[in-house]
Structure 1
Amino acid sequence: MKIECIKNPWQNQLMNDYLEPEHPVHSFFSYHPLKSSSYPVRAQEVYANLSQRVDRQKLVEVLYDYHQPELLHPEIEANLERLRQEDSLVVIGGQQAGLLTGPLYTIHKVFTIIELARKQEQELGKPVIPVFWIAGEDHDLDEVNHIWIQRKEGMLKKRYRVEAAKNNREAVSHLTIDPEDLQNWLREISEHYVDTPYKTKWLEACQELVHDRPSWGRFFARLLHSLFAKYGLVLIDSADPHVRQIERDFFLRLIHQSKPIQASIQKSIQQFQEVGYADPIHTQPNQANLFLITDHGRVLLDREGDQWVTREGKRTFTTSELCQIAQHTPERFSNNVATRPLMQEYLFPVLAFVAGPGEVAYWGVLKEAFIHAGLSMPIVYPRFQITLVERHVDARKREFGHSWETYLTEGASIREEWLKDQFSFQIDPLFEAMKKQVVDLYQPLIKQIHSQLGRQTEEMGQKNIEKVTEQIQFYQRFVERTMRDIHQTTLRQWDELLQGISPNEQPQERVYNLIYYWNAYGLDWIDRVLQLLRDKQSNHHFMVHF
């Protein structure tokens, strides 16, 4: 296994600017993530503001409760004890509870959290603990209930239908999984994977994790734990009712500071747009940035003066009533994309937050919001972006002779160009010329007949042109299929290459799931990838070769 660094072919302009040492975009953030000097300064800032956070001992007790019994591991237990220390810090990042851990970028985010925590502990000489935040409060089941499977005939999307009420808005983490249903589904998808020495192992391991009818979030946590417990990865589910209890005071703070927090976000969005970046959040001026669980499920709140109105307009609360709910039943509240970072900062002594490209963008409009919440923005560190390269894919790349950047961003078009180059004539110009000749022949005829007969002869003539043109197009498609049939073996090799690194013409990490690689290679590759990533900075795209 080896690693190759290339320029990130999918990097947007904001991320390009963010990784520059002195770019003005850093005025939207508190620290530059790739400057080593940022980390000791941020550590001192955390120590100076410990009083603004939740009681450390309460947090650890909640985390102990969450991990017991099956999520405790000696390394995790050691990290929980270290978290009690006043000088300990965390590197944190998170993701929704995707099916079978979701797309590969979830795994890549964990890689980044673990490696950055290890590196900063070594450099700072302080305990730095890796923490993964499961965004279990989200209610969009369609985002997390499927995986993509690679097949010869193309990509196959396989959904798992969990029991949920129609128009359900319940937190995904609270949905219950039926063990028999999921075990049957796992057996079904296993049939789409080739038989290997690892196939039975991953299937039995995943089936065992649902034996006792767990929630969706617990199943996700168990699988992530089975992969990364030995690295001491601490987990927290944002939908855990016990977490809600220790968040009570901060929900009250968010309610009272809602107006200035939202005003600062709106101002930052305007400044973002003035320098050429898109609005990353699409928020409204009266948005409260909090969800509340009502009879209609988990709904967003808006502010109208001293009134708080649910987004669908069916419930209204005064500030006093909302504070009473936060005081007595804080589990009814949850954060949105803007207040989740603030809540993480309140709960944990965050040295750095590990972010995907979209997260870096929306964190850029939150700097003043942290201040209004009595906190400060941590280092926002871009996660590793990785493409896993199998041996047969690497062989095809060398055979066809282009760069990784070209394959990743222009693969489909160069495949078509290759096919056209195999013939001495060009299909498109040939048939376009024929269609033009047909039109040129028809038009004088149509004009002459219309001048003599009138009525609907011109309309009928135009329809006749369309019919003839359709037949020409039919013949063109037949010729194109014939060309593909002649070169079908090589075209399949092209597809092996392109599906292997950019399925559905998207980054591999946004489509493929862990299970394909577990089935093909076991789990040792995870340890080896982490070793390869040691001391790497996330300003490159990494091609990891099996």
Structure 2
Amino acid sequence: MPSDCITYQGSGYFTPLITDYLNQKDTLKPLYHRFPTLENFKLQLEEKQQNYPLGSRTVLANALEQQYKSLEPYIITQQNIGLLKQPNTFTITTGHQLNLFTGPLYFLYKIVSVINLTKELKAAYPDYNFVPIYWMATEDHDFEEINYFNFKNKKIKWPRESTGPVGRLSNEGLDAVLSAFSKELGQGNNAKWLTDLFEAAYLKHDNLADATRFLANKIFGKQGLVIVDGDDASLKQLFVPYVKEELINQTSHQKVAEATELLKEYNIQVNPREINLFYIEDSIRERIIFEDGVYKVNNTAMSYSKSEILSLLEAHPERFSPNVIMRPLYQEVILPNLCYIGGGGELAYWLELRSFFGSANVTFPILLLRNSVLLATQKQAEKLDKLQLSWADVFSKQQNLLNKKVQEFSEFKLDFTEQKEFLKRQFETLEAIATKTDASFTGAVKAQQTKQLKGLENLEKKLLRAEKRNHDSQLERIALLQNELFPGLSLQERKANFSEFYLDFDGRLLQELFNQLKPLNQEFNVIVL
């Protein structure tokens, strides 16, 4: 069975910004605080310990106890919430949208990365406690991004409308989704477990936040995962000074704009607004705009003077919701956090924020790229061997892979590079002669060179196509296998839902993830189940 190592940088699936970050490129160093190494975590926790108020720990723990009242948390989770009150306890955090039934596979990889890192840190620094955190994005409103999941290439969708923060959305209509899903699952104990899990999460809870908390707790509670809902009045109270600063001085816009200048050679993920806050109620999530000395809530008749909006903030902090620019600051203000674990897109916008954190006097967390995984069956691994493929091969672009294999299968050389180089040398000799005769002859030589090289390239392509026909059966099997492992020629972890793997492998899936994922290794994991 192939056992080659695929680095994130070599996988072909990460942007230049993320590969440069992983390679610790000098030009990016001003945009992050500490690179994720085991040694740097000791420095990070010493700094965070100095500037995270003890009073915030009490508020956080009390808020979490209230949020967990509707659940029966595992003992280890209860203990972790209690540990948050102690000054030697720190968190490792990931965040994710409230995707229906967890959405794509990488939801699991994020949380396993967080849990495994807390274990690694506890082993390295036994005098400290490390609590794994899943931050639910309950205040998001991008419902179209989360109202479905894919099961064996079929889209299971929740067809309804949403206008406010998704965490407050009623679970109405999910009984029909369960009915459709259960038909796809078929019979068997694993199918029943998945059906029961969906029913318990979504049909026995009133809103999406409660359903997602139940679901994440059911899957990861035994590992001590603590689930945080930031849509909480007591937690928002801790953030009031920073919201006030944003309303009055709009600091985030200026500071993030400074960072985007350093990132101009990359595609910028997030562009800041002048005020990076929303106003939210159950069915409203609209931007707060400052125009002509007045604060307005976009697409509504609500408007406030400076004193009025500050009074509203003091009375109802839960109505002020940070957007993608402000939310990381909110998270780091209320948590004794050391590290944020996220995907490439998330890390890209975090890299815009260090200067903003500095202006707010909040410690910027260590940024760690989450683990990535390719899941394969034993049968698929055996096919890989028979087709003489490596795991690195199947990460290639499909056309490149097929061309490479044709070259290997062929009994003769399909690459005309040698002939092209010989032709170029001949024309260099002709050009030297031409320069000593007539200038017009030089142009004729160059034109003929271009024509001859083009002819060789065309012959090369025709020969490759002919050889592909000769090896059509093998190439088809290679393409089919790659399509299985990379649905839609995209990463499996961005498409498939955990349920299709649980259906066949039940608890082995999570067990293998916990056994094999090493968060501080920059390596794409291939796990054969």
Instruction: Using structure 2 for the length normalisation, give the TM-score.
Output: 0.81
Q: Aligned pairs, how many?
A: 469
Quote the residue 2:252 is aligned against.
261
More deviation in 300-309 or 373-382?
300-309
- Structure 1 residues 217 and 305, CA gap change in structure 2 (3 angstroms): same
Deviation at 1:232, TM superposition (A): 0.4
Quote the residue 2:330 is aligned against.
343
More deviation in 325-334 or 387-396?
387-396
Q: Is the 8 A contact 2:156 2:177 kept in 1?
A: no
Deviation at 1:197, TM superposition (A): 3.9
Determine the C-alpha separation between the residues in 2 that align with 1:170 and 1:296: 4
Amino acid in structure 2 at the alignment position of 1:269:
T
RMSD across aligned positions (CA): 3.0
SS of corresponding position for 2:397: helix
Amino acid in structure 2 at the alignment position of 1:392:
K
1:396-425 Cα deviation digits (max 9, x unpaired): 3223333333323413664699799999xx
- Structure 1 residues 533 and 281, CA gap change in structure 2 (3 angstroms): same
Deviation at 1:242, TM superposition (A): 4.7
Q: Does 1:177 align with 2:168?
A: no
Q: Is the 8 A contact 1:59 1:246 kept in 2?
A: no
Quote the residue 2:261 is aligned against.
270
Q: Percent identity?
A: 21
Quote the residue 2:522 is aligned against.
539
Quote the residue 2:306 is aligned against.
319
Quote the residue 2:431 is aligned against.
none
Deviation at 1:157, TM superposition (A): 2.0
Quote the residue 2:159 is aligned against.
161
Quote the residue 1:19 is aligned against.
22
Q: Is the 8 A contact 2:286 2:297 kept in 1?
A: yes
Determine the C-alpha separation between the residues in 2 that align with 1:117 and 1:46: 16
Quote the residue 1:141 is aligned against.
143
Mapping of residues 33-432 of structure 1, within 5 Å: 33=36, 35-51=37-53, 55-125=56-126, 126-150=128-152, 155-162=153-160, 164=161, 168-178=162-172, 181-193=173-185, 195-256=187-248, 258-273=249-264, 276-284=265-273, 287-293=274-280, 297-304=284-291, 306-312=293-299, 315-411=302-398, 414=401
Amino acid in structure 2 at the alignment position of 1:158:
I
More deviation in 185-194 or 375-384?
185-194
- Structure 1 residues 196 and 5, CA gap change in structure 2 (3 angstroms): farther
Q: Is the 8 A contact 2:398 2:479 kept in 1?
A: no
Determine the C-alpha separation between the residues in 2 that align with 1:386 and 1:344: 27
SS of corresponding position for 2:395: helix
1:475-496 Cα deviation digits (max 9, x unpaired): xxxxx9xx99x978984x5465
Q: Is the 8 A contact 1:412 1:498 kept in 2?
A: no
Q: Is the 8 A contact 2:156 2:180 kept in 1?
A: no
- Structure 1 residues 400 and 5, CA gap change in structure 2 (3 angstroms): same
Determine the C-alpha separation between the residues in 2 that align with 1:393 and 1:317: 62
Amino acid in structure 2 at the alignment position of 1:31:
R
Quote the residue 2:35 is aligned against.
32
Deviation at 1:243, TM superposition (A): 3.5
Q: Is the 8 A contact 1:389 1:500 kept in 2?
A: no
Amino acid in structure 2 at the alignment position of 1:265:
V
Determine the C-alpha separation between the residues in 1 that align with 2:342 and 2:298: 28
Q: Is the 8 A contact 1:198 1:520 kept in 2?
A: yes
Q: Is the 8 A contact 1:308 1:316 kept in 2?
A: yes
1:135-166 Cα deviation digits (max 9, x unpaired): 0100111000111122xxxx32221124x3xx
Q: Is the 8 A contact 2:245 2:251 kept in 1?
A: no
Deviation at 1:360, TM superposition (A): 1.1
Amino acid in structure 2 at the alignment position of 1:301:
I
Quote the residue 1:457 is aligned against.
none
Amino acid in structure 1 at the alignment position of 2:222:
K
Determine the C-alpha separation between the residues in 2 that align with 1:413 and 1:188: 39
Deviation at 1:500, TM superposition (A): 3.0
Q: Is the 8 A contact 1:351 1:379 kept in 2?
A: yes
Deviation at 1:315, TM superposition (A): 4.2
Determine the C-alpha separation between the residues in 2 that align with 1:5 and 1:79: 35
Determine the C-alpha separation between the residues in 2 that align with 1:42 and 1:272: 25
